[in-house]
Amino acid sequence: MIAYNAGWLKNLAIRNESESAFHEQCILKEELDAVYKKYQVGFYTPNIFIAVGLFILTLIILLLSFGLFALLFMSASEKSYSYLAIVFAVACYAVLEIMISKKRHYQSGVDTGLLWVASLALFAGISFLNDFGDIANGILVFMISLAGLIRYADRLLAVCMYFSFLSVLFFSCIQLGTTAKALVPFVIMIVSLAICFFIMQYKSRENIFQYKNCLTLIEISSLISLYAAGNYFIVSELSIEMFNLQLQPGETIPFGWIYWIFTILVPPVYLLFGIRKKNMILIRTGLILLAAIVFTIRYYHTILPVEYVMSIAGIIILPAAYLLLKRLQDPVYGFTSKEVISKSEIDKLQLESLLLAQTFKPGIDQDATKFGGGSFGGGGASADY
């Protein structure tokens, strides 16, 4: 169960949706005020600058505290530091629970700092105490990150959980022999693709709304890992460094032509599917990975000096971006350069309209149809009609 007040989290989501609707001029200021009045949120969440300051201050206090306790164990054995790290992690988790339940901190910088330090201290203490290997360390990171994700919905721990899972899969596969080492990139690609499709299908469910941002980051991570597992440069360099693959001049890695096709085709495929599905995650990821194509090709095939390549790219990209922004001032095939509400947010707005109907009900003027008494002709109309 999540540590934060679930009701407040839901009210916060309603507030955020209502505020987005207000900025898009879909609701009035009075309606927004009515939503804020009905859906109360008791969290302490300062602005970003104060949150960053509190985060840094929390890290400094925790590191100094751990260093002070470590001085008491200078003459003890190395395992004593492992026990100290575990105890310190438990203490940080306890303080974190108090700050959330009693002080009502939510993304204030204090809770984030306590969570990250506690997770790192717990991992370091258990790992050093047992002298774990790669697979065991990956499992340990996965378990700590999964617990932190479920309990605190932390986005960084969600990313750590995903990549630790892939690391366990990677190190497990390479221990199965030479054939498994050659096939492990394809295994990573299949798993990444499956996880990506799964999250796309289920991340919009209402009963897991508090984990939506975490799932979005896992989705982005799965798209990146899918491409990285098939990128020729990454596969080639890892094979040389980790598997002692010796390549003679002119030789290529096993299945090298498949990796070259994958390296060049995947980013455009991301872009095409993103444009077709109006999915900005796919579009932005595809645009970023286009640079990976250029880097990979240039690393193995030098055509022009790098300064010439960057100058030519700037000459092409800048005018293209300007013309595209001008062209999309008015929507074209569902795309525009202006900030708009996405389809999912419009769907939520239908739910929001029901909420507004309950929170902002204009009263009925009872005197609007009240007639005065009259004496002229007995018809109900007086001289002061």
pLDDT in tens, 202-231: 887 878 888 989 999 999 999 999 999 999
Confidence (pLDDT) at 371: 46
% pLDDT > 90, the chain: 41
260-271 pLDDT per residue, tens: 999 999 999 998
Confidence (pLDDT) at 239: 82
Range 73-101 average pLDDT:
89
Confidence (pLDDT) at 32: 86
- Residue 359, pLDDT > 60, answer no
Query: Within a domain: residue 13?
Result: yes
The number of folded domains in the chain is 1
Query: Within a domain: residue 4?
Result: yes
- The three-state secondary structure class of 105 is strand
Domain coverage including residue 10: 1-42
Which runs of consecutive H residues, i.e. helices, occur in the chain? 6-23, 29-38, 48-71, 78-101, 110-130, 134-152, 155-174, 178-202, 212-230, 232-242, 256-277, 280-300, 306-327, 343-359
% pLDDT > 70, the chain: 84
Report yes or no: 123 and 141 within 8 Å, Cβ to Cβ.
Answer: yes
Query: Within a domain: residue 21?
Result: yes
Query: Within a domain: residue 11?
Result: yes
Report yes or no: 188 and 169 within 8 Å, Cβ to Cβ.
Answer: yes
Mean confidence (pLDDT) of the chain: 83
304 vs 38, which has greater pLDDT? 38
Q: What is the dihedral of CA 317, 318, 322, 324, to 10 degrees?
A: 0
Q: 223-257: buried (b, 16+ CB within 10 Å) or exposed (e) per residue? A: bbbbbbbbbbbbbbebbeeeeebeeeeeeebebee
Could you give the maximum distance between any two Cα atoms of the chain, in Å?
116
129-156 pLDDT per residue, tens: 888 888 999 999 999 999 999 999 999 9
Confidence (pLDDT) at 363: 47
Q: Given pLDDT bands bounded at 50, 70 and 90, which one contains residue 343?
A: very low
**What's the predicted TM-score (pTM) here?**
0.81
Query: Within a domain: residue 18?
Result: yes
| Helix 48-71 × helix 78-101 angle, to 10° | 150
Query: Within a domain: residue 146?
Result: no
Report yes or no: 233 and 299 within 8 Å, Cβ to Cβ.
Answer: yes
